[in-house]
A = this chain, B = another copy of it.
């Protein structure tokens, strides 16, 4: 069931089912889930901790490392889906709303090739 065919709602159901069968909703306060998501994000980051920028890009061609990174990314997403379930947040709507907001904040023609106003590469622009 690849990304092409899988709805976000379907993934939310899979996580909900996993949590409910263990009676884990009692632990899934938004506070605990936010902590858990941050912990998994740090474990993902750990894979790139000492790598140079170039070495981190090369991970795309290293199957073993890529599998580990995929698993950490899945952990992050499972907690994001669990939080959406607890709080009744529609993630697709939230993402689309945020992209629309960022479209205004970072107009494509002003930010092409610049990550922000402080970008030292384009400070003289």
Contact = CB atoms under 8 A, between A and B. Distances in A.
Given A30-B69, A69-B89, A71-B98, 13 more contacts: A2-B90, A3-B91, A5-B92, A8-B8, A21-B112, A29-B56, A32-B53, A36-B49, A37-B41, A38-B38, A58-B120, A73-B89, A81-B95
Interface string A17-59: 0100111101101111011111101111111111111011111
Nearest to A111: B22
Interface string A87-113: 111111111111101110010100111
Counting chain A residues whose Cβ lies within 8 A of the other chain, the interface size class is 35 or more
Given A48-B31, A49-B32, A73-B80, A22 B95 contact: no
